[in-house]
Amino acid sequence: MSAIIEARELVRDFKKTRAVDRMSFVVEPGETVGYIGANGAGKSTTIKMLTGILKPTSGQVRTCGLDPMRQRIEVARRVGVVFGQRSQLWWDLPLRESFTILAAIHRLDPAAGRARTQSLVDQLEMGPQLGTPVRSLSLGQRMRAELAAALLHTPDLLILDEPTIGLDVLSKQRLREFLVAERRERGTTLLLTTHDMGDIERLCDRVLVIDRGALAFDGTLAGLGATVGAQRLLVIDLAVPTASLTGIEGATLVANESQGLRQSLAFDPQTTTAAAVLARVSAVAQVRDLAIEEPDIEDVVRRIYAASRP
Amino acid sequence: MSTFWLLVRAGFRRHSTYRLALLAGMATNSVFGVIRASILLAALASAGTDIAGYDAPTAVAFVWWGQALLGTVNLWGFQEVNDRVRTGDIAVDFLRPVDPQLAYLAGDLGRAGINLLARGLPALAIGALLFHFAWPPGALSWASGLVSVLLAVVVAFAGSFVVNLLAFWLVEVRGIRMLYMIVGGLLSGLYLPVPWFPGWLQTIAQWSPFPSMLQNPLDILAGRVVGVDVISAVGVQVFWAVALLGLGQFVLSAGRRRLEVQGG
C-alpha cells in the first residue's frame, strides 16, 4: 500500500499571509503522527487541504492516493476527521440518530452500521447517552461521540484536530486509552494536532513541528527532545531550609522556593541519571521528598521556535 | 433506506422537537389569515365584482392556503448555511461524502413536511371553520396542487441557498437576505395575488422565480388555475427548480475554490 498522506511543496496563501509554506511530508499507513505548532502556525490549514476543504495555492497533496480537491467525496469515505471545536453531530436529535444518519451517508450496510455503532458505543461507554439530544451532552461525552462518528465508516486515516481541547483530565485519559486500543486493533493511521503534550506523549511515535507555515522538525519524540536538549527536572523537598544547591555535578539549579525548602535541579538524561543527581544532593543535604518532571514538550517546541527564528 | 430519505427524516425530526414554536407559528399564521382574508374580501366587496379571476371563495382559499404554506415553503429563506460559512462549520459539510446542496435540500424537505403537518394544515382548518372558501375543484387539482407545493419548497430552498452561499464572498449576507425577503414576499404573491399587480409589476414578477414559490401552488389549490393551465404553472416551477439548483451547484463549486474557513 502506498503512502496515506503525501504533501509536496504545499503552499496556501490567504489574503495577506502565507499560512502554509512549502510543506513536504509523507505519512505511511499505520503511523501515528503528532502535528504540533503554535496557534496560527498553519496546522488546521494543512488538515483542510488534506481533506479537500481548502484548495492549495500551489503544490501537491495526495490523501489515500487521491486528489482531495477533485475527489473530495472519495477522500471523505476513507478519512475520518474530528475538529475539536466543531460538531459533526445533529445538534437537536438524540445521539443515536446521528450515528444512523452518518452510517447511511457513508453507505454502510444497515446491519454492519449497527454493529459498528454498537462496538464503538461500547468501547467509548456511550450507551446511556444514546437517547440524549446532542445539545444536552457534556463536552467530554460529546467528544467521545464525535470520535465514534469519525470512526463509524472505519476510515484508513483518522485526523484529530485538537480532540482534547477543554476536556478534564479523566476525559482526556479515556479518550487516549480508546485511541491506543483502536489503533492496536485496526492499525488506523492517525494524524493529531494538539496543544496538549500529553496527547503526543501517549499517542504518537512521530512528531511534525510546524512553525510559521513551514516544517521545523520531523522525527521521533525522543529525537525532538534530543535535538533541542530536553532536560528533566528533579524537584527536591528538603528537611530544613538549605542554601542554594549549586555545584551539583551534572545538574543546574533552576529554582529555589520557600527559603531553600524546595529546590529544582535540571539535568540531561543522556549524560547522567536521576539517581546520580539525588545521591550527590543527599551527600550535602537531607532530602524529604522528590519528584521528577518529564520534558515539557511545549517548552521543547518553544525552543525549536527559538532555534529556527534568528 | 436511501441517504436522501434519511436526511429528509432527520430534518423532519429536527424541526419537530420544538413543538411550542410550531404551535406559536400556527397561531400567528391563523391570526394573519383572518386579517388578510378580511382585507381581500373588503377589496372584492368594494369592487363589486371578481378581480382578475378571483371571486370571494377563491380569494379566501388563496389567503388560507397561503397561510398554510407560509411555514412549509421557506419563502423568507434561511440563515443556516450563511452561519456555517461565517463560523467555519461549513468545513464539516465538506467532510461528508455527500453533495452539500442535496443534503441541505433533504433537510429542508423534512422541515417543510413537519411544518405542513403541524402548522399548515391546522391553520388551514381554522380558516375553513371561520370562512367559506373553495376547496380544490377535483382530484386532479389536489394532486397537481401537491406536486406544485413540493416544487415550491424546492424553488424556495434553491433560491435561498444561493443567497446563503454569497457568504463565501461577503461572509455576512443578512442585508441581501433582507432585500430578498422583501422582494420575495411581494413578488411571490404573499401580500396580494400577483394578477392584482399593475401590469409592469406583473411582468417583473413573471420573470422572477418568486411566483413559483407561492402564487402557482396557491392558484392551483384555490381552483383559479385549472385544466391545461396547470401544466404551464407547474412547468414554470420545474424550470426554476432546475435553474436555481444548477446555479447553486455552480456557486457552491466556485465558493469552495475560494473558501477561507473562518475561526480556525
Residue A93 sits at φ, ψ, to 5 deg, of -105, 155
Q: Which residue has the cell 513541528?
A: A209
Q: Is residue A306 part of a domain?
A: no
* Cα(B217)–Cα(B152) distance, integer angstroms: 7
Per-residue pLDDT band at B32 (split at 50, 70, 90): very high
User: Are A85 and B17 inside 8 Å of each other by CB?
Assistant: no
pLDDT of residue B137: 87
B146 sits in which H/E element: helix B139-165
ipTM of the complex: 0.78
Closest residue in A to B254 (Cα–Cα): A55
| Domain final residue, candidates A167, A193, A226 | A226
pLDDT of residue B34: 93
| B18, B97, B261: residue with CB nearest A105 | B97
Q: What is the mean pLDDT of residues B196-207?
A: 93
Q: Spell out which chain B residues touch chain A, with contact meaning CB-CB distance below 8 angstroms.
A: 1-3, 6-7, 10, 13-14, 17-18, 88-89, 91-92, 94-98, 103, 256-261, 263-264
Residues A177 and A258 in one domain: no
Closest to A103 measured CA to CA, from B6, B47, B55: B6
Residues A57 and A107 in one domain: yes
Q: What single string gives the DSSP state of each residue in B161-179?
A: HHHHHTHHHHS--HHHHHH
Residue A33 sits at φ, ψ, to 5 deg, of -115, 125
Total domains in the fold of chain A: 2
User: Are A51 and B97 inside 8 Å of each other by CB?
Assistant: no
Which are the contacts of B168, defined by CB distance < 8 A and separation ≥ 6?
B85, B251, B254, B255, B256, B258, B259
Closest residue in B to A92 (Cα–Cα): B14
> How does pLDDT run across B102-156, given as a tens digit for each residue?
999 999 999 999 999 999 999 999 999 999 888 998 898 999 999 999 999 999 9
Instruction: Report in angstroms the alpha-carbon separations of A63 from A6, A7, A92, B194.
Output: 7, 8, 33, 53
Residues A70 and A208 in one domain: yes
B206 sits in which H/E element: helix B199-206
pLDDT of residue A1: 53
User: Are A104 and B3 inside 8 Å of each other by CB?
Assistant: yes
Residues A190 and A145 in one domain: yes
User: Are B10 and A101 inside 8 Å of each other by CB?
Assistant: yes
CATH code at position A240: 3.30.70
Q: Is residue A280 part of a domain?
A: yes
Would you say residue B62 has pLDDT above 70? yes
Closest residue in B to A56 (Cα–Cα): B257
- Chain A residues with beta carbon closer than 8 angstroms to that of B10: 90, 93, 97, 101
Residues A213 and A258 in one domain: no
Residues A152 and A195 in one domain: yes
Q: Spell out which chain A residues touch chain B, with contact meaning CB-CB distance below 8 angstroms.
A: 14-15, 44, 48, 51-55, 72-74, 76-77, 79, 81, 83, 85-88, 90, 92-93, 97, 100-101, 104-107, 110, 133
- Domain boundaries in chain B? 3-257
Closest to A32 measured CA to CA, from A158, A153, A125: A158
- Chain B residues with beta carbon closer than 8 angstroms to that of A46: none
- Chain A residues with beta carbon closer than 8 angstroms to that of B96: 76, 88, 105
Q: Radius of gyration of chain B from Cα atoms?
A: 19
Residues A271 and A216 in one domain: no
Could you list the residue range(s) of the whole structural domain that residue A190 is in?
Answer: 5-226
CATH code at position A53: 3.40.50.300
Q: Which residue has the cell 371571486?
A: B55
Enumerate residue ranges in chain A where pLDDT < 70. Answer: 1, 225, 227-230, 294-300, 305, 307-310
Task: Please tell me whether residue A216 adopts helix, strand or coil conformation.
Answer: strand
User: Are A105 and B96 inside 8 Å of each other by CB?
Assistant: yes
* Cα(B60)–Cα(B133) distance, integer angstroms: 6
> A152 and A144 in contact (C-beta within 8 Å)?
no
The letter for the amino acid at A7 is: A
Lowest model confidence (mean pLDDT) among B32-36, B83-87, B102-106: B83-87
> Helical H runs in chain A?
43-50, 72-78, 95-105, 110-123, 139-151, 169-186, 197-203, 221-227, 274-284, 297-308
